[in-house]
Amino acid sequence: MQRPAWGADVTRTAVLALIGAQGPVSRAELARSLKVSAALVTQLTRQLIADNLLEELDSVPSQGGRPARLLGLTSSASNAIGVKVAADHVALVEVQIDGDVVHKEGGLSVVKIAIDPVWHLPGIAERFGASEMGLRRALFEQTGGMYPELVTRLDLQVFLPPIGGTTVYIFGDVDKLTDAKTRITCRVHDECNGSDVFGSDMCTCRPYLIHGIEECARGAQEGGLGIIVYNRKEGRALGEVTKFLVYNARKRQKGGDTAATYFHRTECVAGTEDARFQEFMPDCLHFFGIRKIHNLHSMSNMKYDAIVNSGIEVVNRISIPDSLIPKDAMVEMEAKKAAGYFTKEAPKSKEALKKVHGRQIDE
Ligand SMILES: [Zn+2]
């Protein structure tokens, strides 16, 4: 079926959002609550019923005498919808139920894979063109001497680095992984507990992840594969303590939170803008035999470069739809675009970045 245009038909979305939030309502109630004409409600609900998103339920007595029909979200339809209503935007997620990838009760079929990093030191040294002893010494020093065995037990070739692991969710038939003809949709996501789990609106992490999951499910339904790679690299691998210090510094700085100072604030607190090391990130894609990603849902140049430089072809780079970006996250989004992250539009000038403001500390 035709997918509704994002952000283009807010009233149509508002109808779904209202019913999603309140349960079945009559057309008259819809018109009253949305402050639109009865004729428009009739027209919109007719379309939504035709699209199998709404259905007519039982009649209830109305004041005017004729019983009013209640409209509810479809329970037996071929589509599932999720509606998120935030203070500044309404987002609609729509997926087809096929009973294979997406189930009627809203579940998704996936294959879950958990990976812990285990480094074979001679192999890692070879990949970086370094000597094994040089690598051992660097790791020993950069971890504050916590792992003396790195330099005292040369017989131990394997090291468990003190970094987070990876979770992979695969949508679709895993037997197709090594088939070069399989269209692969992929989101490589770095953990952001504040947004992913707790729904903070200061960044786009959760909307990006959810959008990636939706597109992976859609890709699998179309006969391809979807892959979500979730890496524990909280706060650009600087950790959540650093991240919260940066958030505080951003909100409390003179002039407020602006896109112009977004990266600078991180550097002031942490000494670097970003501590992520993406060179090993594509390893898990290679474990699965992937040679080509058709749709890569990421704006990050570090991720894109690491994937392409590891020998995997990327056909399309896809950024998050504007309608999914929370208002307060525009600071992050515009700063990233200006810093060279992938975008189809021209990034804002330095002066324009100063005008992209986030919420005040007391708002
Ligand atoms: Zn985030």
Ligand 1 centre from 344 Cα, in Å?
Answer: 21
276 is catalytic: yes
Ligand 1 centre from 201 Cα, in Å?
Answer: 8
Lowest-pLDDT choice from 67-76, 103-112, 117-126, 165-174? 67-76
Q: Which of 187, 276, 317, 328 is catalytic?
A: 276
Give the per-residue pLDDT at 8. 40
- pLDDT category of residue 252 using cuts at 50, 70 and 90: confident
| 282-318 residue pLDDT tens | 999 999 999 999 999 998 999 999 999 999 999 999 9
Q: Which of 51, 201, 274, 328 is catalytic?
A: 274
| 265-281 residue pLDDT tens | 888 888 998 889 999 99
Give the per-residue pLDDT at 78. 54
Lowest-pLDDT choice from 107-111, 287-291, 358-362? 358-362
Does the pLDDT of residue 99 top 80, yes or no? no
Ligand 1 centre from 193 Cα, in Å?
Answer: 7
Ligand 1 centre from 275 Cα, in Å?
Answer: 15
| 3-12 residue pLDDT tens | 444 444 567 7
Ligand 1 centre from 221 Cα, in Å?
Answer: 28
Buried b (16+ CB within 10 A) or exposed e, 292-315: ebbbbbbbbebbbebbeeeebebe
Does the pLDDT of residue 344 top 60, yes or no? yes
| 169-189 residue pLDDT tens | 999 999 898 888 999 999 999
Mean pLDDT of 77-85: 53
274 is catalytic: yes
